[in-house]
Amino acid sequence: MVVSSDLIRYSICLSMDDSNLQRYLNKPTAAIHIPNSFTATERKLVNICLFEGLKDNFGSEVYLVDVKRTLEFLGCDRTKNTHWLKNQLFSALLSKIIRWNVLKADKTLQEWSCTFLSGYVHEPEDGTLGFSFNPLAVKQFQQRQLYSRLLLQMQVPFKSGHALALYEYLNDAMQRHKGDELTTGLRLNDLRLLLGVSDTQYLEFKHLNQRAIKPAFEEINKHTDIEVTRKLIRENRNVAGLQIVVKRKQNFQPTLDLKLTPGQLSEKPVSDEAKLLIDYGVTSNKAVKMAELYETDKIVRNVHYTINRAEKSTIKNFPSYLVKAITDDYAKCESGQNEIDIKEEWSKYRFLKAEEYFNKMKNTEQELLRSEYIQTIKNNKPSSLVRQKFEHDGGWNSRFIENDFRNKVLITLLKKPEELCIETFQEFWPQHQLKIMLEDKQKTVRSNQKSNGCVSVSAR
């Protein structure tokens, strides 16, 4: 399938710029638990494509990536053969049939098989490649429940597809464990599946260990934020699997040097995360680097934390305190409240979206919903209390009736994944909240500039 340039121009196409790629990918677990028939570079390209698709929950028909920057994040920035990206890597994602969710960890999804992409087009005049996801994959990924955060920069130095596949699996397990150390068992059959090693390859375990397992562990320990050790699990003297101990490295800092040319840092687009930090007084260079290093959720939570702390006590240097709060994740001590906060945020978001959909309806459509609601409370015995409230407390002017109509009728207007699933909303919330905070901060700045030229610290 080849997509026309006209379609690309009129599609919602998201470019993979310098600031956007240096972020965390919320990779679906179903896309981690696959038989690894991808090479290391092909799997890296899968992650780059997923990053673009997850920006709008796979809502666009066509996406664009910059060829030069894509090659850098594949660890292939020195190559001059850019046609290799199109003719080999993208072609592999277009042709290889992959079994997704083979370990069935995500209970909301079935195991399914399909190609990753359905089409791509080369745009040599502006150095981009456009691609389209396979609709079968899109349908599954939009319903995902489990995912893990993967920093795209972490994948750059990987040379082995075995190592990258194993790292993603262990990183996913660690994040579900929610601790700094994990001991887990991995059956030999599952290990072969994840590494993409068939039963006919390396028949003796010593050969599998020497050619695939040992090099993968060495590469993970050298290049990533986790340290792994292993012991053999034996059954009747035969190796049945591995017992793996995974530990998070303390103060691990991935490199931020992606061979930027002089002046490129100041010329490249500034991410929303960096803009927010700059608005709160953090220097431009520091803000850009922190936005590259830390995920949106961590930045947003700690901006909230610092604002709340400033309201309760004196902070002499707000920008300096904010940088320290993000670096050391001060908001983590409030983690016990996070789940409740997300539920509250989700509830408020759902009500606002439901009212927004209702207000966009025609008057006749609104009246039809109101009439159906009245008929329901009049005809159903369980609605006797609501009927009494409607008849004696002012009808539609009653706060009780307003809330009941919202809970029973308006809520049925919700349709998007983040409106229907709290796990999807939790993934969506940081970017949504970031936009709100930026808008509120800019409004405050403009208001203060009009009144007395002073800028105060305030946010939603």
Q: pLDDT digit string (tens) for 246-292? A: 998 887 766 544 444 434 333 445 778 888 899 888 888 888 888 87
302, 334, 366: which is the final residue of a domain?
Answer: 334
In sign, the C-alpha dihedral spanning 89, 95, 97, 101 is: positive
Q: Which amino acid is at 228?
A: V
Q: Does 409 reside within a domain?
A: no
Whether 137 and 276 map to the same domain: the answer is no
Whether 283 and 241 map to the same domain: the answer is no
For the cut 50, the answer to whether the pLDDT of residue 42 exceeds it is yes
Q: Kindly state the average pLDDT of the residues 297-319.
A: 86
pLDDT value of residue 90: 93
Lowest mean pLDDT among 96-100, 111-115, 244-248, 440-444: 440-444
Q: How many domains does the chain have?
A: 2
115 vs 451 pLDDT, higher one: 115
Whether 102 and 189 map to the same domain: the answer is yes
For the cut 80, the answer to whether the pLDDT of residue 176 exceeds it is yes
* pLDDT per position as a tens digit, 51-91: 999 988 898 999 999 888 888 888 886 666 678 888 889 99
Q: Kindly state the average pLDDT of the residues 229-236.
A: 93
Whether 169 and 139 map to the same domain: the answer is yes
Q: Does 75 reside within a domain?
A: yes
Whether 68 and 210 map to the same domain: the answer is yes
| Alpha-carbon span 382 to 364, nearest angstrom | 28
Phi-psi region of 24 (alpha: psi -120 to 50; beta: other; left: phi over 0): beta
Q: Does 279 reside within a domain?
A: yes
* pLDDT per position as a tens digit, 341-399: 778 888 888 888 888 888 898 999 888 888 888 887 777 766 667 777 777 766 776 77
Q: Does 102 reside within a domain?
A: yes
Quick check: helix, strand or coil at residue 120? strand
Residues with Cβ within 8 Å of residue 272, at least 6 apart in sequence: 431, 434, 435, 438
Whether 230 and 328 map to the same domain: the answer is no
Whether 25 and 167 map to the same domain: the answer is yes
Whether 234 and 282 map to the same domain: the answer is no
| Alpha-carbon span 379 to 250, nearest angstrom | 64
Q: Does 36 reside within a domain?
A: yes
216, 248, 280: which is the final residue of a domain?
Answer: 248
Beta-bridged to residue 241, according to DSSP, are 187, 233
Whether 94 and 208 map to the same domain: the answer is yes
Strand 181-187: give its sheet, edge to edge.
181-187, 238-248, 226-235
Whether 163 and 308 map to the same domain: the answer is no
Q: Does 372 reside within a domain?
A: no
Whether 220 and 284 map to the same domain: the answer is no
Of all residues in the chain, the percent with pLDDT exceeding 70 is 82
Say which CATH number the domain at 126 has. 1.10.10.10
pTM of this prediction?
Answer: 0.60
219 vs 180 pLDDT, higher one: 219
Q: Which residues of 276-308 are buried (b: 16+ CB within 10 A; e: fewer)?
A: bbbbbebeeeebbbbbbbbbbbbbbbbbbbbbe
Of all residues in the chain, the percent with pLDDT exceeding 90 is 28
CB 184 within 8 A of CB 173: yes
Q: Does 315 reside within a domain?
A: yes
Task: Print the domain residue range for 294.
Answer: 264-334
248, 281, 298: which is the final residue of a domain?
Answer: 248
| Alpha-carbon span 25 to 164, nearest angstrom | 15
CB 228 within 8 A of CB 182: no
- Residue 60, CA atoms < 13 Å, CB-side half-sphere: 22
Whether 160 and 302 map to the same domain: the answer is no
Q: Does 135 reside within a domain?
A: yes
